[in-house]
Amino acid sequence: MQAEPVQPPIRASAVIRNIKQLVTVAQQPIEGASGALQVLNNAALAVYHGRIVWIGPDNEAEPLFLSTRQDGITIVDAQGAVVTPGFVDSHTHLVFAGQRAEEFHLRRAGVSYAELLAQGKGILTTVEATRKADAETLLALAQRRLHLMRDHGTTTVEIKSGYGLDRINEEACLHIINNLKALEERTSSSVPQQVRVVPTFLAAHVLPPEYRERRADYLDLVVEELLPSFVGLAHFCDVFCEAEAFTVEECRRILRRARDLGYRLKIHADQLSPSGGARLAAELGATSADHLDHASDEDLKALRDAGVVATLLPGCSYTLRSPYPSARRLLDLGLTVALATDCNPGTSYCENMQMMIGLAMAEMDMSLEEALTAATINGAKALALEEEIGSIEIGKRCELALWQLEDYREIGYHFGVNLVQSTLTLL
Ligand SMILES: [Zn+2]
């Protein structure tokens, strides 16, 4: 009779047990997992120094970890929760003051965006309010929104500047985003729930009013002064490529300079009209092109061939009452599709990624599996973080959402309430 081979103990600092359903969204096959999202029932996972080192059946965790008498091992009881990767919200404008509820209701009453602008409303209202607010207020407002996101299952948030639009205020907003990042990296509670923050510089959001007659001067300021001095404060540089904002040529100039300085690139592309933004994203090798409501099939194929992630933002269609872009069309063309909130006070005031999944399923022809993939691993791809986060796999960071559900397929079905019980990020 052959002796049982002795399995060498795996070093772990924490083991999460009693997971009813582990929805891994793994990109590589996991033993015992099934379906498009690689789901394991009655599972456990182990973590060492913040990285997942083992995934398997709960009943195998006991002998593997507890009998090896490892010192300082933390056991987390998931109490039968469904567990998914934390959401990766790859497009938000969280740092702002004021709100635009009046504008929202006027638009519903039939007042056009051009009329609103003529009345001095729209994005410039937010620029004015943000410039007037002090840094403490802006930080507190952004942190409250960030914690709402976390409470709805998000563990990574990209945050753009773009309501400062001059040296002092853009720099202040980027510092606030970086301060938020530092605050979130410090854990205070016994259940660690940090949110990872990714800063983006978006000076080319709209032309600031004081530059109305001096457009070229604003571009010079962004390209020659702001981009070089903000290296290290932002990972990404983003532009709003649209008739109401900046032309393809202007965006190309900004993004080329940004790329040379080491920023990664994003573009608000083809949202309100066929602006040429998607083509530019493909040409420059941007990490993502976002919105894409008016992108042609040729534009989309160019994005696909250049490996640019297509980020869809259904909250804008909801708020603007405009037709939803068809995610099905993008998926059929073979694009990598991400979903994000675009949380901002004008066109999508929503912190909740569960809502985006619901809208994507109801209005954009996505299956739950496609929408969950778009909200996790594909969001990570839209931030070039797919090696670190976005799925539950060996070697990745342990950044999870715990759900009060019997089955993950209740997501989108049981709607309008928060189904996430907590997030969990183990370091
Ligand atoms: Zn946006």
Q: List beta partners, residue 397.
A: 51
For residues 425 and 184, the answer to whether their CB atoms sit within 8 Å is no
Q: How far is the CA of 316 from the centre of ligand 1 (A)?
A: 9
> β-strands 420-426, 309-312: how paired?
unpaired
Ligand 1 centroid, distance to 78 Cα (angstroms): 35
pLDDT at residue number 358: 97
pLDDT reported for residue 7: 59
pLDDT values of the chain reduced to their tens digit, one per residue, 427 residues: 555 555 567 889 899 999 999 999 999 999 999 999 999 999 999 999 899 999 999 999 987 776 655 667 889 999 999 999 999 999 999 999 999 999 999 999 998 877 887 787 889 999 999 999 999 999 999 999 999 999 999 999 999 999 999 999 999 999 999 999 988 887 555 667 899 999 999 999 999 999 999 999 999 999 999 999 999 999 999 999 998 899 999 999 999 999 999 999 999 999 989 999 999 999 999 999 999 999 999 999 999 999 999 999 999 999 999 999 999 999 999 999 999 999 999 999 999 999 999 999 999 999 999 999 999 999 999 999 999 999 999 999 999 999 999 999 999 999 999 999 999 998 7
Cα-to-centroid distance, 291 and ligand 1 (Å): 8
Q: Is residue 169 part of an annotated ligand binding site? A: no
Ligand 1 centroid distance, CA of 76 (Å)? 37
The residue with tokens 């182990």 is 46
Distance 345 CA to ligand 1 centre (A): 10
Q: Please give the Cα distance from 151 to 359 (Å, whole number).
A: 19
Please give, one letter per residue, the 3-state secondary structure of 249-306. Answer: HHHHHHHHHHHHCCCEEEEEECCCCCCCHHHHHHHHCCCEEEECCCCCHHHHHHHHHH
How many angstroms separate the alpha carbon of residue 162 from the centre of ligand 1? Answer: 10
Q: How far apart are CA 233 and CA 181, in angstroms?
A: 11
Are residues 39 and 403 in contact, defined by beta-carbon separation less than 8 angstroms? no
Ion ligand 1 contact residues with beta carbon within 5 A = 342
Q: How many angstroms does the Cα of residue 36 sit away from the middle of ligand 1?
A: 30
Q: How many CA atoms lie within 13 A of 166 on its CB side?
A: 11
How far away, in angstroms, is 58 Cα from ligand 1 center?
Answer: 42
CATH 3.20.20.140 in the chain is located at: 87-381
In the chain, CATH 2.30.40.10 covers 14-85+393-426
CA gap 252, 246 in Å, rounded = 10
Q: What distance in angstroms lies between residue 149's CA and the mean position of ligand 1's atoms?
A: 16
How many Cβ atoms are within 10 Å of 166's Cβ, its own excluded? Answer: 17
Report whether 414 belongs to an annotated binding site: no
Residue 371 Cα to ligand 1 midpoint, Å, equals 19
> 232: burial class by Cβ within 10 Å (0-12, 13-18, 19+)?
exposed
Distances (CA, A) of 389 to 193, 342, 400: 15, 20, 10
- Judge whether 26 and 86 are in contact, CB under 8 Å: no
Best CA proximity match to 325, nearest among 355, 366, 278: 366
Give 424's DSSP letter: E
Strand partners, 184: none
Rounded Cα distance, 215 and 268, in Å: 20
Task: At 64, list the tokens.
Answer: 């593997």
What is residue 89's predicted lDDT score, i.e. its pLDDT?
98
268 annotated as a binding-site residue: yes
Check: CB of residue 400 under 8 Å from CB of residue 81: no
**Does 260 carry a binding-site annotation?**
no
84 within 8 A of 26, measured Cβ to Cβ: no
Q: Which CATH class is domain 14-85+393-426?
A: mainly beta
| Beta-ladder partners of 89 | 157
- The pair phi, psi for residue 178, each rounded to 5°, is -70, -30
Give the strand pairing for 82-85 and 398-403: antiparallel
| Cβ burial 25-37 (10 Å sphere, 16+ → b, else e) | bbeeebeebeeeb
The dihedral sign for the CA sequence 222, 160, 237, 337: negative
Was 346 annotated as part of a binding site? yes
Strands 309-312 and 288-291 turn out to be parallel
Query: Residue 258 C-alpha to ligand 1 middle, in angstroms?
Result: 18
In this structure, are strands 154-160 and 309-312 parallel, antiparallel, or unpaired? unpaired
Distance 37 CA to ligand 1 centre (A): 28
What's the 234 CA to ligand 1 centre distance in angstroms? 16
**CA 92 / ligand 1 centre spacing (Å):** 6
Q: Is 205 annotated as a binding residue?
A: yes
271: annotated binding-site residue? yes
Could you tell me the distance, in angstroms and rounded to a whole number, from the CA of residue 184 to the centre of ligand 1?
A: 23
358 assigned binding-site residue = no
Q: How many angstroms separate the alpha carbon of residue 340 from the centre of ligand 1?
A: 10
**Cα(280) to centroid of ligand 1, in Å?**
17
Q: Which CATH superfamily is domain 87-381 in?
A: Metal-dependent hydrolases (3.20.20.140)
